[in-house]
Structure 1
């Protein structure tokens, strides 16, 4: 068991559920009292989650941890749709030790591909009909145990050269905008040549290759889980044209954008809840 996490087991987990929803501009949700341990993943737009009077601003590409017994309210972007997914896990009778361990975890982390995969699997099982309760609960438990490991991973990232950490944060927040190596280096305070060397050392790729891979990953997520057109997704993810997006998605995944949408899209506008 990862340190800093309660010793949760499947037999104590009474329920687990995943969902996906897009809120139109200016939407609000709550207040409510959280009943579960919930991981909320933001993919587009923005949201401010106020927990017991304390606001937390969340940008796309991040996951937040919500804990039971606290009052929450959500305010979403006024300018664009805000799309998020979630995994909620319910335990009866959390101990004081459990609550203390949850409170030691960070409220917000970068969203990993592993966490994406878990929510994908939970939603797919639900869509396919009649999933076993144990299957869904097991995936919910896996997500709950992944979060502290992602926390440790984020701490290790902080041990990288500060310019790499700054570049990753800048890419994750600005990938939709036009971005050159020179501009990225300027934002991190390193020379372009030095930034390339640091990326090769810490990320085993170049800054610009990382940028385009990140754009492709975000585009695939939008193709899979939204009804946006390919042109709209291209504009949101920093591609010059829809043809440019389609070519890079095909080169990276081996599948066309049409194939990805046909195989995976399932009516992303879920029930009006978080």
Structure 2
């Protein structure tokens, strides 16, 4: 498999440790990019003599070419894990993005799960374990940047958590005959308030958004799978194949068969393959 050699890690290592009260580390010279996930306890870190602090349930990033000294919680154990990422190059653009972020960030459940997966990969007997670990390390890095940049957005520019929760519920239940009441209940708001949220931020009602996503999923399955049209209709929550075909025609001006044929022909023509 080919990778972008300018960014694909040369080496990745992960680990986990519990320091007793009063534990220390260093001074040491940081050679790689490192993510540190702190589950419990407290950490003080001096980077080139400047002190920073991180509490439990946080994640922070350490940049290469700096001297570091760690002093862990004096009253309780400090449990943390880490991932070292040795990149071939460290661009000024990446450095600027990392330096603008809040330090540390809250430790999200997703980052915690990624770290568990990374630790498990060390014990896997697969010939591709190292490749998977490198890919996962990059995913963690981009997740860290994404979470950090999202935290910098003004509150007014971020969708309300209730709206995101409702959208996630809809996307997870496209196949089911869900109602406005069920969506509102899953989001812990009234149907009236939910409608106002959707109209304010998406200019759609929740049910209109539901059908928009069903149509989008149906088109994706037409283009990217060979499933029968009736099966796609059922999997996307349409009442019948006829109902699905009618909504697809309204959206695209084409029948489901035409949507699939056009996409497949474009795909083969783009590769220089005769259909």
Shorter-chain TM-score category? 0.5 to 0.7
* Two-structure CA RMSD over aligned residues (Å): 2.9
Structure 1 residues 83 and 114: CA distance shift in structure 2, 3 A: same
Where has structure 1 moved over 6 Å in runs of 4 or more?
none
* TM-score scaled by length of structure 2: 0.52
Q: Which of the residues 45, 48, 51 maps onto 2:44?
A: 48
Structure 1 residues 137 and 75: CA distance shift in structure 2, 3 A: same
Structure label with greater radius of gyration: 2
Match of 1:60 in 2: 56
Match of 1:126 in 2: 122
Structure 1, unmatched stretches of 5+, are 1-7, 165-200, 207-274
Match of 1:179 in 2: none
**For each residue in 1:20-68, what CA deviation from the matched residue of structure 2 results, as whole angstroms up to 9, or x when unmatched?**
1000001110111111111101111111011111111111110011000
Match of 1:83 in 2: 79
Match of 2:216 in 1: none
Distance (Å, rounded) in 1 between the aligned partners of 2:82 and 2:154:
25
Determine if contact 2:97/2:145 at 8 Å carries over to the other structure. Answer: no
Distance (Å, rounded) in 2 between the aligned partners of 1:58 and 1:129:
35
Determine if contact 2:30/2:66 at 8 Å carries over to the other structure. Answer: yes
* TM-score scaled by length of structure 1: 0.52
Alpha-carbon distance, 1:97 to partner = 3.5
Structure 1 residues 204 and 56: CA distance shift in structure 2, 3 A: farther
**For each residue in 1:196-229, what CA deviation from the matched residue of structure 2 results, as whole angstroms up to 9, or x when unmatched?**
xxxxx9x9569xxxxxxxxxxxxxxxxxxxxxxx
Structure 2, unmatched stretches of 5+, are 162-183, 190-275
Q: More relative contact order in 1 or in 2 (CA 8 Å, sep 6+)?
A: 1
Distance (Å, rounded) in 2 between the aligned partners of 1:27 and 1:159:
42
Determine if contact 2:42/2:54 at 8 Å carries over to the other structure. Answer: yes
